[in-house]
Amino acid sequence: SKGTYPYYMLKEIDEQPAVLRRLVQEYINEDGTFNFDPKLIDALKEADRLYIVAAGTSYHAGLVGKPIIEQIAQIPVEVELASEFGYHMPLLSKKPFFIYLSQSGETADSRQVLVETNKRGFPSLTLTNVEASTLSREADFTLLLKAGPEIAVASTKAYTAQITVETILAQALAVAKGLPSANDLDVKHQLGLAANGIQTIVDSKDDIEQLAHEFFANTRNAFYIGRGIDYWASLEAALKLKEVSYIQAEGFAAGELKHGTISLIEEGTPVAAIITDKETASHTRGNVQEVQARGAKTLKIVSEDLAQAGDQIIIPTLETVLSPLVSIVPTQLLAYYATLQRGYNVDQPRNLAKSVTVE
């Protein structure tokens, strides 16, 4: 039930710190070892490339999973849209391993690919929130997201749960492979910081509500921009906003704007930038100035270590590759409040179903 919450979406955004802590407890033992099926880890060790297959928000969690797994476990990862991959399968590596990300475990586009990879005898893992779901039953291995039922059509806690499980799994694989760098990143500590960080953001929801009002009122379109990991977060931020508020929102690689899309910027167009990577922060800030000079209204979501006077939303600093765990949360809240201000039912946007069981 929603309890005292007006909508499931807000409840589910608020649950994220608890979900992260639950996943750490579930998959990391007290002594720092990991609670994964050793057969799963063996199968992953044998693979020469991982293919993540998913749709929508789960696809976006896969895009973030790629640099996480590549950095921590040192194995190449490809991320594929299920609806495309089923019909346009690229040349695969010699020993592929397939990871299906799906909150519901019922997405037909993903299932269609799983049927095909099963036919070809490739090993597979499903990361899902629903035990005994179709994708879970048909894959070799399952890891549960333990996020509790996600009722709102807009996926929120499943996204952060998927990134969390990808992170822990990457670390377990790094340790199993005996990588010298396996413990460079204290994953448990980082996930603890992320949980606390999300908590501070959801505790400041009144400020974000105010910002949503100032920033998205009376607009038909909006942009989220970022580079690298912040670009992947921007794609999810834009999907969340458009899906529930019907504002036409685009997530964009900040440096690509000037190659065409900047012509859409008019007086008052909202452009939100996500800035958590110190390598590219000054470049993205430059892009913000470019759009500002063309009349855009801008909003900066910046990690603490890179914050400057005038940045509106400051988020806790994490290892860069994990930053979407926190950077996405203000964008979920912005989408939520922009929708309420427009008077729409945020839990049930038009034309959408919670799980998409047709191809």
Q: Find the angle CA(118)-CA(122)-CA(125) to the nearest 5 degrees.
A: 85
Backbone angles phi, psi at 207, to 5 degrees: -65, -40
Does residue 153 bind ligand M6R (CB under 6 A)? yes
* Contact flags string 12-51 toward ligand M6R, x per CB under 6 A: ----------------------------------------
Pick 161 or 174: Cβ nearer ligand M6R: 161
* Contact flags string 107-146 toward ligand M6R, x per CB under 6 A: x--x------------------------------------
Pick 145 or 291: Cβ nearer ligand M6R: 145
Least Cβ distance, residue 82 to ligand M6R (angstroms): 8
Write out the E strands in 214-322: 221-226, 248-253, 270-275, 297-303, 313-315
Pick 130 or 202: Cβ nearer ligand M6R: 130
Residues contacting residue 103 through CB under 8 Å, at least 6 positions apart: 57, 58, 128, 129, 130, 145, 147, 150, 155, 158, 162, 355
Among positions 184-223, residues that touch ligand M6R (CB under 6 A) are none
From 165, 134, 119, select the one nearest 23 (Cα to Cα).
165
Judged by CB under 6 A, the residue of 16, 57, 134, 339 near ligand M6R is 57
Decide if 226 contacts 199 (C-beta within 8 A). Answer: no
> Quick one: angle between helices 229-245 and 56-73, nearest 10?
170
Does residue 238 bind ligand M6R (CB under 6 A)? no
From 206, 197, 228, 212, select the one nearest 326 (Cα to Cα).
197
Does residue 81 bind ligand M6R (CB under 6 A)? no
Whose structure tokens read 């179903």? Answer: 353
Residues contacting residue 146 through CB under 8 Å, at least 6 positions apart: 19, 22, 23, 26, 129, 161
Pick 164 or 303: Cβ nearer ligand M6R: 164
Pick 145 or 257: Cβ nearer ligand M6R: 145
Does residue 56 bind ligand M6R (CB under 6 A)? yes
- Alpha carbon 249 to chain centroid, angstroms: 16
Pick 69 or 241: Cβ nearer ligand M6R: 241
Judged by CB under 6 A, the residue of 58, 124, 160, 280 near ligand M6R is 58
Does residue 55 bind ligand M6R (CB under 6 A)? yes
Pick 49 or 354: Cβ nearer ligand M6R: 354
Q: Which amino acid is at 76?
A: P
Judged by CB under 6 A, the residue of 11, 23, 68, 102 near ligand M6R is 102
Point out which residues bind ligand M6R (CB under 6 A): 55-58, 102-104, 107, 110, 153-155, 243, 355-356
